[in-house]
Amino acid sequence: MMELAIPLLAATVQSGTPILYATLGEIITEKSGVLNLGVEGIMIVGALTGFVVAKISGNPALAFFAAGLAGLAASSIHGFVCLIFQGNQVVSGLALTILGTGFANYLGTSMVGQSAPGFSPMALPYLSQIPFFGPVFFQQDPLVYVTYLLPPLIWLYFFSTSHGLNLRAVGENPAAAKAAGLSVILYRWTGILAGGFLMGLGGAYLSLAYTHLWTNSMTAGRGWIAVALVIFAFWRPGRAVFGAYLFGGIMSLQLRLQASGIPLPSSLLLMLPYLLTIAVLVFSSWKKGRSEAPAALGVNMKPTD
């Protein structure tokens, strides 16, 4: 049993990582009061950018960073449309997904079937020797190790720095924040851009580490799962980790169930991640009486308020 559990859990960590990046990004954005449904589009732009830069420069770390910048740039569209032009946040995000996916596939069509230099698993000394936890957590590629650092850093940001506290205030009650002298629009820009950066990184994980390939529509719906996971995580970074790994686990599990010869029709097994998403949403809403969401989420602050 142990021999099967360890590879499954190691695969879970890998498969949950891109989702985790995106979820953490969306948490930051939503905490500032902005709903960004363009995650899927932003992720895939990040995936393509990372791939192309890695191919051209031969430097995966540079490519990873570039992907983050691309995600930042893509999310800025959402910022312009919503923060400046008062566009409806829901529809703007959807439009960004459509645009981002189309854009990445358009430019990426000629890159399909090629490979680029990327990251490979790098076992950490000492830590990877720990029984059970070692092989699962510490024999991964460097980008996974980055995600181990992110949740505590984000938590610190939100709860211990004044900038983070202000950002949360902007998301809860923008009118009061403005009255207290905070620039709502500036904090929301921060939320959007920082979130977009992380989402781009999440996409790049797919084309730089998870595989070293690119194909059209590579993100395959992971961005949407990230949006759902934000709700599941009650907008908390720590819980986001749990959610992302849970999803990664389900995605890996259904393949492994097939591999071990379980005769369930694969269509049904493939439904598991989506059914689970709905289940976690129901569970999250049911568990907490009141909503944990930032109170002003999704509502634009009018420029003449």
Partner 1 sequence: MLRLTITKRQEPLGWSSCLVVFGAVALSLFFSALLLGLRGTPPLEGLIVLFQGAFGSRWAIEDCLIKTIPIFLCSLGVAIAFRLQIWNIGAEGQFCLGAVGATWVALSFPSLPFWLMLPLMIAMATFAGGMWGLIPAVLRQKMRTNEIIVSLMMNYIAILILDYLVYGVWKDPTSFGFPMTQEFSDGAIVGKIGSTSVNWGLFHCIALAVIFWVFLRFTKLGYELKASGDSVRAARYAGIPYDRLVFLVMVLSGALAGWAGFLEASATINRLQPSIMVGYGYTAIVVAWLASLNPLYIGIASFLLAGLRVGVENLQLDLQVPAAFGGIMEGLVLLTVLAGGFFIHYRFELRGAKR
Partner 2 sequence: MRVIKILLIAALAVGFCTTASAKEMKVGFVYVSPIGDAGWSYAHDVGRQAVEELEGVTTSYVEAVPEGPDAERVIQNMARKDFDLIFATSFGYMDPMLKVAKQFPEAVFMHCSGFKTAENMGNYFGRMYQARYLSGMVAGAMTKSNIIGYAAAFPIPEVIRGINAFTLGARAVNEEATVRVVWTKTWYDPATEKEAAKSLLDVGADVIAQHQDSPGPQEAAQEKGVYSIGYNSDMSAFAPKAHLTAPVWNWGPYYTKVVNEVKNGTWESESVWPGMETGIVDLAPFGSMVPKEIQEMVLAKKAEIVAGQAKVFVGPVLDQQGNVKIAEGSVADDQSLLGMTWFVEGVTGTTE
State the nearest-atom distance from the C-beta of 236 to partner 2, in Å.
Answer: 27
- Check residue 260 for interaction with partner 2 (CB under 8 A): yes
| SS3 labels along the chain | CHHHHHHHHHHHHHHHHHHHHHHHHHHHHHHCCCCCCCHHHHHHHHHHHHHHHHHHHCCHHHHHHHHHHHHHHHHHHHHHHHHHCCCCHHHHHHHHHHHHHHHHHHHHHHHCCCECCCCCCCCCCCHHHCCCHHHHHCCCCHHHHHHHHHHHHHHHHHHHCHHHHHHHHHHHCHHHHHHCCCCHHHHHHHHHHHHHHHHHHHHHHHHHHHCCECCCCCCCCHHHHHHHHHHHCCCCHHHHHHHHHHHHHHHHHHHHHHHCCCCCCHHHHHHHHHHHHHHHHHHHHHHCCCCCCCCCCCCCCCCCC
224 in contact with partner 1 (CB under 8 A): yes
Question: Binders of partner 1: how many residues, by CB under 8 A?
Answer: 53
The one segment of 107-115, 170-178, 224-232, 282-290 that binds partner 2 by CB under 8 A: 107-115
Contact between 259 and partner 2 per CB under 8 A: yes
Cβ neighbours of residue 194 under 8 Å, at least 6 residues apart? 25, 28, 29, 72
Partner interacting with residue 140 (select from partner 2, partner 1, none; CB below 5-8 Å by kind): none
Q: Which of 99, 146, 182, 255 binds partner 2 (CB under 8 A)?
A: 255
Judged by CB under 8 A, does residue 55 bind partner 2? no
Point out which span in 11-19, 100-108, 148-156, 187-195 binds partner 1 (CB under 8 A): 100-108
Select the binding partner of residue 251 from partner 2, partner 1, none (C-beta < 5 to 8 A, by kind).
partner 2
Residue 113, contacted partner among partner 2, partner 1, none, CB below 5-8 A by kind: partner 2
Q: Are 208 and 17 in contact (CB under 8 A)?
A: no
* Residue choice 123, 270, 278, 282 for contact with partner 2 (CB under 8 A): 270
Among 20, 111, 150, 154, binds partner 2 (CB under 8 A): 111
Q: 181: which 2 tokens?
A: 């002298």
69 binds, among partner 2, partner 1, none (CB under 5 to 8 A by kind): none
**Binding of partner 2 by 206 (CB under 8 A):** yes
**Site string (112-131) toward partner 2, x via CB under 8 A:** xx-x----xx----------
Segment lying near partner 2 (by CB under 8 A), choices 3-11, 53-61, 132-140, 279-287: 3-11
Query: Judged by CB under 8 A, does residue 176 bind partner 1?
Result: no
**Is residue 86 a contact point for partner 1 (CB under 8 A)?**
yes
Alpha-carbon distance of 188 to 78, in angstroms, equals 11
Please report, as ranges, the residues that interact with partner 2 according to CB under 8 A.
4, 7-8, 11, 15, 109-113, 115, 120-121, 206, 210-218, 220, 251-252, 255-256, 258-261, 263-267, 270
